[in-house]
Amino acid sequence: MDRLQTAIAEARAARDAILAGRVAAATDQEAPISRKVAPAASRTVEEAWAALPRFEPEAEHLADKRVVTRQGGARSAPFDVLRTRTLQQMKAQGWSRLAVTSPGPGCGKSTVTMNLAFSLARQTDIRTVVLDLDLRRPMLASILGLQARHEITAAIRGTAEPGAQMTRVGENLAFATTRTPVHDPAELLQGRRIGKLLERIEAQFAPDVIVFDLPPVMVSDDAIAFLPNADCALMIAAAEQSTLGQVDACEKELAQQTNVLGVVLNKCGHPGDYHHYGYGYAETA
Ligand SMILES: Nc1ncnc2c1ncn2[C@@H]1O[C@H](COP(=O)(O)OP(=O)(O)O)[C@@H](O)[C@H]1O
Ligand SMILES: [Mg+2]
């Protein structure tokens, strides 16, 4: 943990100037990206949410997949802290689009995304939409236990309405999932089509937060292709799996593309109240 903190501090120092420039540029804009689309009237937004198919995940299935935040309590507490800090930073900047990524695969992006999503959903005054954009290894449907044959790729290509590929869990949380892996998704993740999809989701569902479960940064250019669409990012590093060099390189790469909110150290297995799922968080901004 100490060595990771040192690496984070070094990476932070190295890219402070870049980040300061990006934050200044973001705050200088007339409005954040996500506010450029006029939201629909609130009754229409409520109707759009009401029209989404509902799904109730099984508690045991979620627990098997290490999703522990559906209810509050000791196990969800660290994710609730992550949620609150993330929300505070995002609100302060007027940001709503949060990317979750990591240096390599298997660090826990999807697991953290789901825990963050259910923690956000316990705040009843905000709406959250989660998009599975790890198109080579989409996992969110499987983590939810969702059988629906939703394909977010159809919504990206514009051949289906966004709402037709989405599922609602509870009142204020929706997932756009996909099942069929795509072998070369970079062209789907960059450019106008994905931007248009995000604008449509924002206009129809008026989410306060959109979370993107992205591919890893150091394996392909998929995440980098998408990141200009995000306002900010969290990096998930896996202790005993992500090397310091990978964390450092990933953070530098992320900082070139977006605002890095922090690094979540997953699978750290440190002793203490939360050792069940080993979790730590370091702010980089
Ligand atoms: N804190 C943790 N401790 C132990 N296993 C974990 C932890 N977080 C995630 N996992 C497991 O690691 C595997 C990869 O996690 P996943 O979230 O799918 O990673 P990614 O989305 O980054 O590829 C899954 O089997 C998941 O259950
Ligand atoms: Mg994943």
- Burial of 66: CB neighbours in 10 Å, binned 0-12, 13-18, 19+: middle
Residue 151 maps to which CATH number?
3.40.50.300
Give the residue numbers spanning the domain of 192: 2-283
pLDDT in tens, 175-193: 999 999 999 899 899 888 9
Instruction: Specify the pLDDT at position 91.
Output: 97
pLDDT in tens, 127-146: 999 999 999 999 999 999 99
Instruction: Specify the pLDDT at position 184.
Output: 87
Instruction: Specify the residue with its C-alpha closest to ligand 1, atom 8.
Output: 108
Ligand 2 center–CA 40 separation, angstroms: 32
For residue 277, the ligand 1 atom closest to its alpha carbon is: 1
Ligand 2 center–CA 140 separation, angstroms: 7
pLDDT in tens, 58-78: 999 999 999 999 999 999 999
Task: State the Cα–Cα distance between residues 77 and 75, nearest whole angstrom.
Answer: 6
Instruction: Specify the pLDDT at position 139.
Output: 97
Residues in a beta bridge with 108: none
Of 86-95, 173-182, 269-278, which range is least confident? 269-278
- Whether residue 257 is predicted with pLDDT greater than 70 in this model: the reply is yes
Torsion over CA: 240, 246, 252, 255 (sign)? negative
**Of the bound ligands, which one is closest to the alpha carbon of residue 278?**
1
- Whether residue 228 is predicted with pLDDT greater than 60 in this model: the reply is yes
- Provide the pLDDT confidence category of residue 42 given band limits of 50, 70 and 90: confident
Cβ count within 10 A of residue 58: 10
Quick check: CB of 19 below 6 Å from ligand 1? no
**Of the bound ligands, which one is closest to the alpha carbon of residue 62?**
1
When divided into structural domains, the chain yields a total of 1
Highest mean pLDDT among 25-34, 91-100, 263-272, 276-285: 91-100
Helix (H, G, I), strand (E, B) or coil at 139: coil
- Whether residue 17 is predicted with pLDDT greater than 50 in this model: the reply is no
Instruction: Specify the residue with its C-alpha closest to ligand 1, atom 7.
Output: 267
Q: Give Rg (Cα) of the chain.
A: 18
Phi then psi dihedrals of residue 96, to 5 deg: -130, -10
Instruction: Specify the residue with its C-alpha closest to ligand 1, atom 4.
Output: 267
| Best of 65, 66, 133, 277 for a ligand 1 pocket test (most atoms within 8 Å of beta carbon) | 66
pLDDT in tens, 230-239: 999 999 999 8
Quick check: CB of 109 below 6 Å from ligand 1? yes
Instruction: Specify the residue with its C-alpha closest to ligand 1, atom 5.
Output: 267
pLDDT in tens, 101-123: 999 999 999 999 999 999 999 99
Ligand 2 center–CA 44 separation, angstroms: 33
Q: Average pLDDT, stretch 243-249?
A: 93
Ligand 2 center–CA 110 separation, angstroms: 4
pTM: 0.86
Helices 77-93, 109-121: axis angle to 10 degrees equals 80
- Whether residue 226 is predicted with pLDDT greater than 90 in this model: the reply is yes
